[in-house]
A and B are shown apart, each in its own frame.
Chain A
Amino acid sequence: MSGAPALEVDLEVTVGRGAAAFSVASRFSLPSGVLVLFGSSGAGKTVTLRAIAGLLRPTRGSVRLAGEALFDWMRGVDVPAERRRIGYVPQDQALFPHLDVLGNVVFGLPRAERKKPGAATLALLDELGLTALRDARVGSLSGGERQRVALARALAAEPRLLLLDEPLSALDRPSRLAIGRSLREALARRSLPAVLVTHDAEEAAAFGDVFVRFERGKPARELPREVVLGEKGPCPHCGKP
């Protein structure tokens, strides 16, 4: 892709109405790898993520994926969410409760592939350790398993970018480590760029290549890695400095 950054974002998003309304301004770019949006809750991280996905309409600005404009306020470009090919794993995973694990994973695939899962789907289930669970009801899954299903569902649709909202925060420590490893491997294997939202500096440092800090009432800004690390020591359990 002729050297265009994986993702370029320059957005102002307004949510709510009247007195409850607030605006989030952010400007950042990701050459490749994982971009971490971090900061306290209520600072607009999730809102920014949803704007990148095309799920809410920014007040102005632009979003470019590998050089292609997905949103450009000046030129009137607004590609609908279903044509952006951006995978989204929301905070509570939002698994479809009326479908089993396999039904969730193949949800975004063409009808023929949904009826009879092909080799790629089976390989994906295997990669994320879901083969034994493929017929399980999603209501019976543990937090870590839910996260794997949500990840598999997003990856199955072959996205060009993956958005992850607090993917590890609801998990206990052993699953955090395991899911974190699966996630990093899955991204690396596909050279898939990702945007990860977290309020945890440790998690930010473990995943990120580029860091953007959100604070309520201020424009989001990029931070050098050392500053993020300085807020807390290197991740003691997942090995990454």
Chain B
Amino acid sequence: MSFPILLSLRVASLALLFVGPIGLAVALLQARCRYRLRGLVDALVLLPLVLPPSVVGYCLVVVFGRRGLVGRMLEEGLGLRLVFSPAGAALASAVVALPILVKTAQPSIEAVPAALEDVARTLGLRPWEVVFRVTLPLAWRGVLAALVLGFARAIGEFGATLMLAGNIPGRTNTMPVEIFSAFQEGDDARAGLYVVVLSVISIVVVLVAGLLGPREGRSAA
């Protein structure tokens, strides 16, 4: 009964561990650098938000599946198989969490005055030191909100997860997938349990993100 809950928590945490640093790096890049392909990167980041989840899942299978280019490399090189595995569920969750992560973190990074970063450079800090000693300490509210929202998006992922990781009881049946199968089997009580758990997580997330939101922020004054 509790397996899907723990699995979902594990999958979402793993997804966040993977996509968190990537999302923050992309947010920093988009907030601070003006380069030629910036618009293209912006569009690519938004894509998982706009594409139907089944399409995202299909693309992931094509790339990361057993016959996909990356999938074959991972399996032969590292012995890591993503299809029908919790790691695959984490990858699907990570991809759909990316847009909300970047789009929430980016404005709070943009709000840090560039002059502060400039001064830090002249005081001898290398660019990555500036990120850790100026940008992130001042943008922490938005960054934390981004991670929290990303976690919520990751834990709720259904379509792409189902395509890549399938619905294997005791292995890849995360809560959203389990709700669907319990509902199909007519086991409304079981479906209802996970509905309540996911709803509670979502409500907590929305409240926390609201507390961290810009309305309250007097951060970078």
Contact = CB atoms under 8 A, between A and B. Distances in A.
Interface of A: 50, 53-55, 80-88, 90, 92, 94, 96-98, 107-108, 139, 153-154, 157, 159
Which of under 10, 10 to 19, 20 to 34, or 35 or more describes the interface residues of B?
20 to 34
Among B118, B124, B220, B221, the one with the most A-chain Cβ atoms within 10 Å of its Cβ is B124
Label chain B's interface by main secondary structure.
helix
A86 B122 contact: yes
Given A82-B126, A108-B124, A139-B221, A94 B138 contact: no
A173 to B, nearest CB: 26
Given A85-B124, A98-B138, A108-B125, A55 B220 contact: no
B115 A82 contact: no
A55 B122 contact: yes
Contacts of A154: 122-123
B127 to A, nearest CB: 8
29 contacts: A50-B118, A53-B118, A53-B122, A54-B122, A55-B118, A81-B118, A81-B121, A82-B123, A82-B126, A82-B127, A83-B124, A85-B124, A86-B122, A88-B122, A90-B115, A92-B115, A94-B113, A94-B116, A94-B119, A96-B120, A97-B221, A98-B138, A107-B123, A108-B123, A108-B124, A108-B125, A139-B221, A153-B119, A154-B123
Interface of B: 113, 115-116, 118-127, 133-134, 137-138, 219-221
A13 B122 CA distance: 19
A146 to B, nearest CB: 13
Nearest to B119: A94
